[in-house]
Structure 1
Amino acid sequence: MSDPLLETLVDNRYLVRSRIARGGMSTVYLATDTRLDRDVALKVLYPHLAADRGFLDRFEREAKSAARLSHPHVVGVLDQGVTDSLSYLVMEYVPGRTLRDVLNERHRLSPRLALAMMDAVVDGLAAAHEAGLVHRDVKPENVLLASSGAIKIADFGLARAVTTSTNTGTLVGTVAYLAPELVTGAGADARSDIYSAGIMLYEMLTGSQPFTGEVPIQVAFAHVHSSVPAPSAACPGLAEDLDELVLWCTSQDPEGRPVDGRALLGELRHIRTSLTDEQLDFHAPGSPPAQRPGQGDRTTVMTQTPSGATEVISQAQPNATEVLQRTDNATTVLGHPLTAEGYQDDDGYDGHGDDDGDYPELSPRAGRRLAKKDFKASQKEASRAAQRPEVSLRPGRPRRRGVLLALLVTLLVAAAAFAGWFFGAGPGALVSIPEVSNTSVEAAGSRLGEEGLRYTTSEVYDEVISAGMVVGTDPAAAQQIRRFQPVTLLVSRGPELFSVPNVIQRSLEDAREKITEAGLATGTVTEEFSEDVPAGQVLAQVPAADADLRRGTPVDLTVSKGPAPVEVPVVAGKTEQEAVRLIQEAGLSATVSPERINSVDVPKGSVAVQTPSSGLVERGGTVTLTISDGPRMVQVPSYVGKQADTAREELERLGFRVEVNEILGGFFGTVRAQDPAGGTAPEGSVIKLTVV
């Protein structure tokens, strides 16, 4: 059937290209992030989950928690969102295969390959457990094998979000790998993931799952009431360490398992290094192909209905629903009693048959199952009976029992006396560690020997105690220990010396950082002019580079202020060529302004204005020169016949200088003659008036 999401744009960002897989809670698509132009895995939740507001709130919080988990063996969560029609999770796209594909192809794996894959899976689980995350659905389908060779575990956070939904008591998992406490409703923690990982390791080693059944509830019942068998029972010849590892991980009691992924990872790596090549590459010769996983490899959703029942819905049979409901003394399956001994179906089958060996009126299917069950029960009883002796070959002898009892009492008394001596005056006695600091190693060793203590030496740096002298002990002085416990003498190597880094021509900030990283301190910082080192960079350091100093010793720095400033020469009034020459000889650059100005005082072609006019400037700075265009030419009006005072005032306002020549004392104050009396004259020139 066509998928309506294909070739659509989700949330205006993710272009759905193809469908990868369908799971118990969602459909996974290959999509392209159009914003970042990269392939991603788009997980779209089923509508009944997306319609639950309480679930969506928890789903968002769990997605954020999973997004903070960054680990090379964990598929990264990139984004999460909710639109009007769907809720989705964006994850890292890992092209390749799943571990399930490998198991379907090879059936079983060599111990070397199985442990290598488990190492990556458990490493990822360890990082998640340390971050407070529990996976809850560890299985081969969720272990991705990238084409690049990377191994990653997927789907963190989603199962937890469903499990903790506010309006359902949903438990998500795959019954073949489900921990017993999840079935009984006791809650999940890191040890639940360890159980699932142990089941997965069993399957990789043997090619089959430890528990199978026609319906998921039978498998779940087996997890609660049966112990996982040793892998060597299904595949003889496997190393005993592998049996112990699987049984440790799959203990029915969570207290009997590793506390988290980190604890399991350490033991897993120890076993990988302790097994021989023959044990790691073991292959059972002539063994038939391993049984492929069946119904139990699909995610199963167990929900608590309003009536208190627990529904078990297998993805392999989406229309088959089985209900587990707790009563005072039993759990029921589809309304039939489920006890520690078995369960009873509509045909009256209770898992064992009647006490007298007769069968009730059963359906053919129930009869076959009952006969098979009774046959197995009779075999077990015959095996137990064969191990019980019919006659005692050695009847008890009272006198011998008395001697043995006396011998046992004597041994207990001797053991108690030995223990009293051992912990009272012997090697197990408590002694106080003497104070031996600032003494020689020989003297300190002699002092410890007087107390019956053994010691080793270890060299440490010390800023106070001289080299070769004892700094102290580990454990410290005055602490009480047993005589058989070793003591470490800490011998001084003198102060720890640190090499001075070379910070010449580095910026001051960079130099401070390098000095701090070297275990030293920045001392006095001074500034000097330099023609060669740019301003702001270190010009000199004291002590010099590669000198050995104690921790925290200051290093003085001299920082360049750049080239020294130069005095600006005064060139106003000089010709343009001479002014440029003088400025360049001073180490500066001269620029001539394209605009000229009129000047009464400066001749045409000479410097009228310079900027700056004087003072100190940085070497290579620019001095701008403005050249004079000479005085401005002004129209000279004629004032002949006019009053001399008026003529003087107006001519001076026009920029002229006025000379008055009075005739007969200038009695009338009238201008009789003017030179010049018209035309133009340079501003500032002299106008002569003759006044009578």
Structure 2
Amino acid sequence: MQDPAADPLIGSTVDERYLVLSKVAHGGMSTVYLAKDLRLHRNIALKILHPHLATDAAFIARLQREAQSAASLSHPHVVQIHDHGVGPQHAYLVFEFIDGYTLRDVINQRGALSPRQALELLDPVVEGLAAAHNASLVHRDVKPENVLISRQGWVKIGDFGLSRAVTTNTNTGTLLGTVGYIAPELAQGHNGDARSDIYSAGIMLYELLTGVQPFRGTVPVAVVMAHIQDDVPAPSLAIAGLPPVMDELVRYMTEKDPDHRPANGAALLEDLRHIRQTLTPAELDFGGTPLGQRPVVGSNANTEAISQATSAIPNDATSVIAAPNFPTSVLPPSSRLYTEDSRTDMYDAGNTSAAHIGASSYAQAGDGTSAPALSKRQASADAKARAKAAATPQIVLGPKNPRRRALLWSLLVVLLFVVVAVAGWFLALGPGALSTVPDVHNKTVAQAQELLQAQGFELLPTSNVFDEKVAAGFVVATDPGAGESIRKFQSVTLKVSAGPVLYKVPAVTGQALDAAQKLLTDGQLAVGTVTETFDEKVPAGVVLSQDPATGKEFRANTKVNLVVSKGPEPIPVPALAGKTEADAVAALKAVGLVAAIAPERVNSLTVRTGSVVSQSPDAGNLKAGDTVTLTLSKGPRMITVPNQVGKQVDAATKALEDLGFKVSVEKLLGGFFGTVRFQTPDGGQAPEGSTIVLQVI
């Protein structure tokens, strides 16, 4: 363990932005710190690469490309990359800070989990991998140390972008990876793909179910060779009674051939959730290690970490980001990972220990002896000698009964000939022969079947289809279609016409015109001629009748004619001024209008008493039953006639005219003096507008 307080980076600022607060974890590629983003005022995880990686220009360029690709991935179960940078002293990546613990802490504290717990923990991991695979990103370093669990229970997978950059760091064929979870193809130097992540997840599932890794050894190379050569054991061998489907799931995920594994995270996620639904509650909750009975993990757990999980995971546990269970190891080129290379130096650069790979992939330790070191020449000669010995047969097998063997060979040849002959007949002349489907369009079913049987087809099912052109009961087409060549034993489906599709005319009478049109078009029919007519009872715009009537069935787009109301017919108001009351009332009644007599009569110079002086309304249109008010005349107004005798004619004329009379002047003896001598009438009352005669002398 290193003392975090002794780290010179703690308290410093990286790239004038990230204030380093404390060390979180230390791994084979980097050291992780808890830091504060001074620009955004938030805690982040700062992963600072070791100097031997930070000074490699080609690696840094690859790292930047991978970080940019990984940063584009945004998913609730993937740790988000916020930033990356290269300074004069450091190369670093900035991740979101997960305040919690790792899946490694859960395994160390709980040991074996029940299938329900294991699947619940694995589900979000695989969902995050599925999102990455969908974005063409591959993790290549899936392990419990890279699975983070927040205090709120969020499960996220981290370190996208870093592992690929590291695995392509050199051209020597070496590989960096965590040997406990490495996929066979990665261990052999191949690039790997999404299925490599599936393998690592399968190893992780095995560990969740059993509490231990399937392959454990004293040296990493023994573990690597186990991944290459040995099948992953069934978890039920370690935890008896586990549901068989869990064994099958681990086997499926950890197949040596990537083609036999799930294609990607999405395919695996579907299988996981199906399994969780099919297992019974008892099967889901089987197993699990009670607290205090934690099995002992293998001897490889020697990764340096600043904080370790205690016997129980406290709420204030230090967050460990990507703290590996195995130290990152540099493996030799794939050509040296086969069993022929039994004695090879295979650990870190500068490591002088030799890993002897024997018949078993597990490390053989504890015998108290060590084999003498061999030179390269001696190792090569030893390998050749053992290969030659393996190729030398120990038992000579000879024919004990030549006659019986000859008979067996003869029977085998005859049987093979019969099989070939039968197969040839079947494919050339029999039911397996190819034949061309004839054109039976517009034929009756019987005629079509006869034509098809003539071509050797016997399986002739039928299905009904609607068709606008082919009459009901006749063949529209076949499946496969006419002209296609298929085997005679295959079926040819006859698609028989059921006639055109018929649509029922909806009831649109009484509907508004726009609603009626929508009903018809929605019912696959068309609107025909729209005729308008006056109707005294139905409001304007409402359908009065339809043709054809509702309930009848017709082909699509058949037109339905509509008669639409224009409302009541308008009635022009007749002119009634000057007519007598009786005549005016009769005239209104004749056109369907009602007369109303105004209570007050008015004087009129022109209209005699009892006749119509005015009406309201006096023009325009009305509908039947509307009222016209008539105002009747009470004749001209009666005015008292003043006597103007003795007055000058001009003054007398003006006085009479001001009262509403007309004045007629007659001159006597020339009217020299202009004085009114006589007046007719000379008193009493006279109608307004009547004429007063003045005689002037």
TM-score w.r.t. the length of structure 1 is 0.52
What SS is found at the alignment partner of 1:242?
Answer: helix
Q: In structure 2, what is the equivalent of residue 332 of structure 1?
A: 345
Task: Give 1:100's aligned amino acid.
Answer: R
Contact 1:172 1:299 in 2 (8 A): no
* Percent of aligned pairs sharing the same letter: 51
Contact 1:179 1:192 in 2 (8 A): yes
For residues 146-295 of structure 1, the aligned pairs below 5 Å read: 146-166=150-170, 171-283=175-287, 289-292=294-297, 294-295=299-300
1:100 shift after superposition: 1.7
Q: 2:144 aligns with which of 134, 140, 143?
A: 140
Contact 2:114 2:285 in 1 (8 A): yes
Q: In structure 1, what is the equivalent of residue 483 of structure 2?
A: 478
What SS is found at the alignment partner of 1:49?
Answer: helix
Confirm whether residue 129 of structure 1 aligns to residue 171 of structure 2.
no
Task: Give 2:358's aligned amino acid.
Answer: E
- CA-to-aligned-CA distance 1:381-401 (integer Å, 9 cap, x gap): xxxxxxxxxxxxxxx999999
Contact 2:303 2:326 in 1 (8 A): no
1:111 shift after superposition: 2.1
1:107 shift after superposition: 1.0
Confirm whether residue 101 of structure 1 aligns to residue 105 of structure 2.
yes
Q: In structure 1, what is the equivalent of residue 358 of structure 2?
A: 341
Task: Give 1:291's aligned amino acid.
Answer: V
Task: Give 2:58's aligned amino acid.
Answer: G
1:63 shift after superposition: 0.6
Contact 2:111 2:288 in 1 (8 A): no
Distance 2:211 2:276 in 1: 20
The aligned length equals 448
Distance 1:152 1:461 in 2: 55
What SS is found at the alignment partner of 1:144?
Answer: strand
Distance 1:138 1:189 in 2: 12
Task: Give 2:112's aligned amino acid.
Answer: R
Contact 1:174 1:299 in 2 (8 A): no
Greater RCO (Cα-Cα under 8 Å, separation 6 or more) = 2
Task: Give 2:67's aligned amino acid.
Answer: A
1:196 shift after superposition: 1.5
What SS is found at the alignment partner of 1:203?
Answer: helix
What SS is found at the alignment partner of 1:138?
Answer: coil
What SS is found at the alignment partner of 1:192?
Answer: helix
- CA-to-aligned-CA distance 1:79-134 (integer Å, 9 cap, x gap): 22222332221223344432222222321122233234334333333443344333
Task: Give 2:205's aligned amino acid.
Answer: L
Contact 1:324 1:331 in 2 (8 A): no
1:139 shift after superposition: 0.5
Q: In structure 2, what is the equivalent of residue 659 of structure 1?
A: none
Distance 2:431 2:304 in 1: 59
Distance 1:69 1:99 in 2: 22
Confirm whether residue 113 of structure 1 aligns to residue 117 of structure 2.
yes
What SS is found at the alignment partner of 2:84?
Answer: strand
- CA-to-aligned-CA distance 1:539-559 (integer Å, 9 cap, x gap): xxxxxxxxxxx99xxxxxxxx
1:58 shift after superposition: 0.9
Q: 2:58 aligns with which of 54, 58, 69?
A: 54
Distance 1:315 1:57 in 2: 25
What SS is found at the alignment partner of 2:118?
Answer: helix
Structure 1 residues without counterparts, runs of 5 or longer: 301-313, 344-349, 353-361, 368-395, 498-517, 519-549, 552-692
1:52 shift after superposition: 2.0
1:161 shift after superposition: 0.8
1:158 shift after superposition: 0.3
What SS is found at the alignment partner of 2:204?
Answer: helix
What SS is found at the alignment partner of 2:215?
Answer: coil
Task: Give 1:341's aligned amino acid.
Answer: G
1:487 shift after superposition: 6.0
Contact 1:11 1:83 in 2 (8 A): yes
Q: In structure 2, what is the equivalent of residue 78 of structure 1?
A: 82
Contact 1:136 1:172 in 2 (8 A): no
Contact 2:109 2:294 in 1 (8 A): no
Distance 1:167 1:294 in 2: 32
Q: 1:89 aligns with which of 89, 93, 108?
A: 93
1:29 shift after superposition: 3.2
1:470 shift after superposition: 7.7
Q: Relative to 1, partners in 2 of residues 1:23 and 1:323: Cα closer, same or farther, differing over 3 Å?
A: closer
Q: Relative to 1, partners in 2 of residues 1:323 and 1:432: Cα closer, same or farther, differing over 3 Å?
A: closer
Distance 1:481 1:70 in 2: 50
Q: Relative to 1, partners in 2 of residues 1:83 and 1:425: Cα closer, same or farther, differing over 3 Å?
A: same
1:424 shift after superposition: 4.5
Q: Relative to 1, partners in 2 of residues 1:90 and 1:479: Cα closer, same or farther, differing over 3 Å?
A: farther
Contact 1:174 1:296 in 2 (8 A): no
Contact 1:174 1:297 in 2 (8 A): no
1:26 shift after superposition: 1.9
Q: In structure 1, what is the equivalent of residue 68 of structure 2?
A: 64
- CA-to-aligned-CA distance 1:517-565 (integer Å, 9 cap, x gap): x9xxxxxxxxxxxxxxxxxxxxxxxxxxxxxxx99xxxxxxxxxxxxxx
TM-score w.r.t. the length of structure 2 is 0.52
Q: Relative to 1, partners in 2 of residues 1:415 and 1:49: Cα closer, same or farther, differing over 3 Å?
A: same
Distance 2:148 2:477 in 1: 54
- CA-to-aligned-CA distance 1:151-190 (integer Å, 9 cap, x gap): 3221111011111124776522211112234334344333
Distance 1:480 1:90 in 2: 62
1:229 shift after superposition: 1.7
Q: Relative to 1, partners in 2 of residues 1:120 and 1:363: Cα closer, same or farther, differing over 3 Å?
A: closer
What SS is found at the alignment partner of 1:295?
Answer: coil
Q: In structure 2, what is the equivalent of residue 686 of structure 1?
A: none
1:210 shift after superposition: 1.1
Task: Give 1:213's aligned amino acid.
Answer: G
Task: Give 2:220's aligned amino acid.
Answer: P
For residues 389-428 of structure 1, the aligned pairs below 5 Å read: 419-420=423-424, 422-424=426-428, 428=432
Distance 1:470 1:8 in 2: 85
Q: Relative to 1, partners in 2 of residues 1:295 and 1:351: Cα closer, same or farther, differing over 3 Å?
A: closer
1:258 shift after superposition: 4.2
Contact 1:236 1:284 in 2 (8 A): no
Contact 2:113 2:288 in 1 (8 A): no
Q: Relative to 1, partners in 2 of residues 1:317 and 1:93: Cα closer, same or farther, differing over 3 Å?
A: closer
Contact 2:116 2:276 in 1 (8 A): yes
Q: Relative to 1, partners in 2 of residues 1:405 and 1:171: Cα closer, same or farther, differing over 3 Å?
A: closer
1:61 shift after superposition: 0.8
Distance 1:436 1:13 in 2: 79
Distance 1:181 1:189 in 2: 9
Contact 1:163 1:169 in 2 (8 A): no
For residues 380-529 of structure 1, the aligned pairs below 5 Å read: 419-420=423-424, 422-424=426-428, 428-435=432-439, 452=457, 475-483=480-488, 485=490
Distance 1:488 1:276 in 2: 44
